[in-house]
Amino acid sequence: MKKYDEIFTELPEEEYLKSVSYKYRKKLGQFFTPMFMADFMTEWIINNESGTEILDPALGLGIFFRTIIKNHPTKINKLRFIGYDIDTKMIEITKNLFSNAKYINIQILNKDYLTEDWDKKYDGIVCNPPYLKFHDYEPKDVLLKMFSTRLGMKLSGFTNIYTLFMLRSIWQLKNGGRAAYIVPSEFLNSDYGKNVKKYIKENGTLRFVIIIDFNLGVFENATTTSSVLLFANDQYNKEVEFINVKNLNELKLIQNYVLSYPLIRKKGRVIKIKELDEAQKWRIYYQELNGSKYRNLVSLSKYTKVSRGIANGANNYFMFSESKRIKYNIKMKFLLPCLAKASYARKHFFTKEDFEELKKSDKPVYLLNATDLSDEDLRKYIELGEEQGIHKRYLTSHRTPWYSLENRPPAPILATVFNRTGLRFVRNEAGVYNLTAFHCVYLNPNIMPKIDLLMAYLITDVAKEIFEDSRREYGDGLRKFEPNDLNNAFVVDLEKIDSKREENILKLFYKFRESEIKGKNTDKIKNELNEIFLEILKR
Ligand SMILES: C[S@@+](CC[C@H](N)C(=O)[O-])C[C@H]1O[C@@H](n2cnc3c(N)ncnc32)[C@H](O)[C@@H]1O
């Protein structure tokens, strides 16, 4: 193959991946778009006859422009390409790549897209933005100010940079312009996405949301699932269509359909733009909810309040094993029994015996609660923390004093935060504190007497199935629940359980508890419990 032809393949990306470490790429959010996806996205832009100035705000090695040149050789003399990338090294390689195609009108800028050139507008914008936490971005203040004056938006610290790229781009579309963005689906279903969705809704340019099924890993190594969002700044601003795509074949099939826009509609689910609800997870527009099959459900917040566990910002420093406690001579009154990792409580019950076991095997089971620095040993340990710079970490530096603890008393039930096999609730019989690997599930006082009944429900498969509606997903099957996801999730209405059934359920639950603690197989009992709850829930 001639050197020049290589730009129409994925070879430049393959070579780059070999030459740069994963750590470096992660720091800059460098994950490349496969060519089949670039083919799909660029068609949306090029199909728009009016477009001449095409922008890629996060250029990388320019896969989108290369794809356009490959697929539309006759059109390129009318096009002008503009690409931004913050990475000087990347820019050099990309300039070199395009130097083989002298006839192309391209401007490659080594600039930060988010802060530069706010007054420019474009006919076409195509982008795979970097996935980076806002928290890690500098200069934050400049960005906050720009988004508030230009877009009238107040950004939350939880925002991810990729959403800011997208918002800015739709703001930058000329009349009649189009944009195609490939982004993690996460913002559609997370709290930080609320503001973003609100802006998108009010802006009125979103036409298609194409959800790429999770089995089709679009990016290597990145734990994210993707959606392609297609925008058009035109007069057809009443509806948006959500389409699920499960494989490459389906993606090809919907290509023509999408390109027939605005003629035919309704292959997927069409929603009126004004009816989009930013407060909801947008999953409701593209997935059938498990809970919709069942009746007698209420929100979990009727019974509980879920909060995240204690975040201390330096687990190694704040957590103590038995031997570490002895080494530093820290008194028991300054230590709280605490669960640090999900793997330390693998069952549905965490008993006093389990805690003792962890302690015996010298696991970190105590959380430092430094309440009185007149104690000399304690003071020395705090000074040691200062020598190690623990007080300058993000969380500790925002506390006064830096070693103080958040006030999160032990919760009677804990819930795992990250899950692969479904959400797991743990009855905290040992009454220990917990770090952020678990959420704290506090029960309203009036429901405390029913804790076993609630717990019996929480261990069933049907409960897990309904909780799934509230999950957030990461590409490789990892699921996450934020406290509010759980607060707003649905559970069985305990008032719909008559006393006879309740008796039955409790009998089975105690049997389950005993068997699980003894390490016996619990499948049969769990199935029986599940059947009873299904009878209550089935329509
Ligand atoms: C996800 S990659 C996409 C690369 C290429 N467009 C593709 O789709 O294969 C994102 C690119 O944005 C660049 N980048 C990160 N932060 C940026 C910023 N603030 N402004 C412009 N480019 C940035 C990274 O260096 C990286 O090359």
Whether residues 244 and 307 share a domain: the answer is: no
CATH number at residue 107: 3.40.50.150
Whether residues 246 and 144 share a domain: the answer is: yes
Take atom 19 of ligand 1 and give the residue whose Cα is closest.
112
Whether residues 29 and 147 share a domain: the answer is: yes
Whether residues 266 and 328 share a domain: the answer is: no
Is residue 295 in some structural domain?
Answer: no
Decide which of 241, 256, 287 is a domain's last residue: 287
Is residue 454 in some structural domain?
Answer: yes
What residues flank ligand 1, with Cβ below 6 Å?
Answer: 28-33, 56, 58-60, 63, 84-87, 90, 112-114, 128, 130
d(C-alpha 438, C-alpha 425), whole Å: 9
Whether residues 37 and 180 share a domain: the answer is: yes
Is residue 310 in some structural domain?
Answer: yes
Q: Which two tokens stand for residue 205?
A: 């340019």
Residue 55's SS3 state is strand
Is residue 119 in some structural domain?
Answer: yes
pLDDT in tens, 176-224: 999 999 998 888 988 788 889 999 999 999 999 999 875 656 665 555 6
- Residue 103: predicted pLDDT: 84
- Residue 154: predicted pLDDT: 81
Whether residues 216 and 95 share a domain: the answer is: yes
Cα separations (Å) of 490 from 313, 318, 520? 32, 36, 30
Alpha-helical segments (H) within 48-172: 63-71, 88-98, 140-150, 161-171
Decide which of 222, 255, 287 is a domain's last residue: 287
Whether residues 448 and 315 share a domain: the answer is: yes
**Which of 14, 86, 89 best tests ligand 1's pocket when mutated (most atoms within 8 Å of CB)?**
86
Whether residues 398 and 519 share a domain: the answer is: yes
- Residue 152: predicted pLDDT: 87
d(C-alpha 32, C-alpha 330), whole Å: 51
d(C-alpha 485, C-alpha 189), whole Å: 10
Judged against a pLDDT cut of 60, whether residue 468 lies above it is answered with yes
- Residue 419: predicted pLDDT: 80
Question: Average pLDDT, whole number, for the chain?
Answer: 91
Take atom 9 of ligand 1 and give the residue whose Cα is closest.
32
pLDDT in tens, 1-43: 556 688 899 999 999 999 999 999 999 999 999 999 999 999 9
Residue 420's SS3 state is coil
pLDDT in tens, 91-123: 999 999 998 777 899 999 999 999 999 889 999
Q: Which of 64-73, 140-149, 216-225 has the highest mean pLDDT?
A: 64-73
d(C-alpha 312, C-alpha 436), whole Å: 9
**Which of 23, 24, 30 best tests ligand 1's pocket when mutated (most atoms within 8 Å of CB)?**
30
Decide which of 253, 287, 321 is a domain's last residue: 287
Residue 458's SS3 state is helix
Whether residues 331 and 263 share a domain: the answer is: no
Whether residues 313 and 250 share a domain: the answer is: no
Q: Which two tokens stand for residue 334?
A: 């300054």
d(C-alpha 522, C-alpha 468), whole Å: 22
d(C-alpha 432, C-alpha 132), whole Å: 35
pLDDT in tens, 335-375: 999 999 999 999 999 999 999 999 999 999 999 999 999 99
pLDDT-derived band at 134, boundaries 50, 70, 90: confident
Whether residues 346 and 282 share a domain: the answer is: no
pLDDT-derived band at 474, boundaries 50, 70, 90: low
Q: How many domains does the chain have?
A: 2
Closest-lying ligand 1 atom to the alpha carbon of residue 31: 1
pLDDT in tens, 259-300: 888 876 677 888 999 999 998 889 889 887 788 889 999 999
* Contact by Cβ (8 Å): 364, 319: yes
- Residue 310: predicted pLDDT: 97
Q: What is the mean pLDDT of residues 153-176?
A: 89
19 C-alpha vs ligand 1 centroid, how far in Å?
Answer: 17
482 C-alpha vs ligand 1 centroid, how far in Å?
Answer: 28
Which structural domain range is residue 469 located in? 300-537
* Contact by Cβ (8 Å): 129, 181: yes
d(C-alpha 500, C-alpha 504), whole Å: 6
Smallest Cα–Cα separation from 229: which of 212, 253, 247, 252?
Answer: 212
Is residue 292 in some structural domain?
Answer: no
* Contact by Cβ (8 Å): 461, 530: yes
* Contact by Cβ (8 Å): 417, 436: yes
Judged against a pLDDT cut of 90, whether residue 135 lies above it is answered with no
pLDDT in tens, 372-422: 999 999 999 999 999 999 999 999 999 999 999 999 999 999 999 988 777
Closest-lying ligand 1 atom to the alpha carbon of residue 137: 19
Whether residues 282 and 311 share a domain: the answer is: no
Is residue 24 in some structural domain?
Answer: yes
The packing angle between helices 63-71 and 35-46, to 10°, is 70
* φ/ψ of residue 496, rounded to 5: -90, 5
202 C-alpha vs ligand 1 centroid, how far in Å?
Answer: 27
- Residue 488: predicted pLDDT: 86
451 C-alpha vs ligand 1 centroid, how far in Å?
Answer: 50
Amino acid identity, position 389: G
Q: Could you tell me which residue, 410 or 245, shows the higher pLDDT?
A: 410
